[in-house]
Amino acid sequence: MRRDIFQAIADPTRRAILVLIATQAMTPNALAENFNSTRQAVSKHLRILSECELVKQEQKGREIYYSLEIEKMKEIDQWLEQFKKIWETKFNQLDNLLATIKTK
């Protein structure tokens, strides 16, 4: 089943996993040490993130390391960009209104 990236990042544990692997690749065991959950629960989150292509796997010996897939994160950023522009326009309008009120 193909999952949606926004479904994947809706879960706080998956967002925390993304933050943890943003700077260095980690194994499921190393990731599980950061949560009050089992390794199996962390593996389930990693599977969902992998299905959404937000993380990539690399086999090193007997261990699998997960790292952040930066290109896929850009999709999220591009989607959010449209809202950033709307917010900036609204804030600029508010700044202009406040400046007008202040000068009167």
Over residues 45-101, the pLDDT tens digits come to: 999 999 999 999 999 999 999 999 998 888 889 999 989 989 999 999 999 999 889
At 3, the pLDDT band (50, 70, 90 cuts) reads confident
User: Does the CA dihedral 2-75-54-11 come out positive or negative?
Assistant: negative
Q: Could you tell me the fold of the domain covering 5-103?
A: Arc Repressor Mutant, subunit A (1.10.10)
The pLDDT of residue 1 is: 55
Residue 9 has pLDDT above 70, yes or no: yes
Q: How far apart are CA 40 and CA 37, in angstroms?
A: 8
The pLDDT of residue 28 is: 95
DSSP state letters, 32-91: HTTSSS-HHHHHHHHHHHHHTTSEEEEEETTEEEEEE-HHHHHHHHHHHHHHHHHHHHHH
Q: Is pTM, for the whole model, over 0.85? A: no
Assigned token pair, 19: 């933050």
Residue 2 has pLDDT above 70, yes or no: no
The pLDDT of residue 64 is: 95
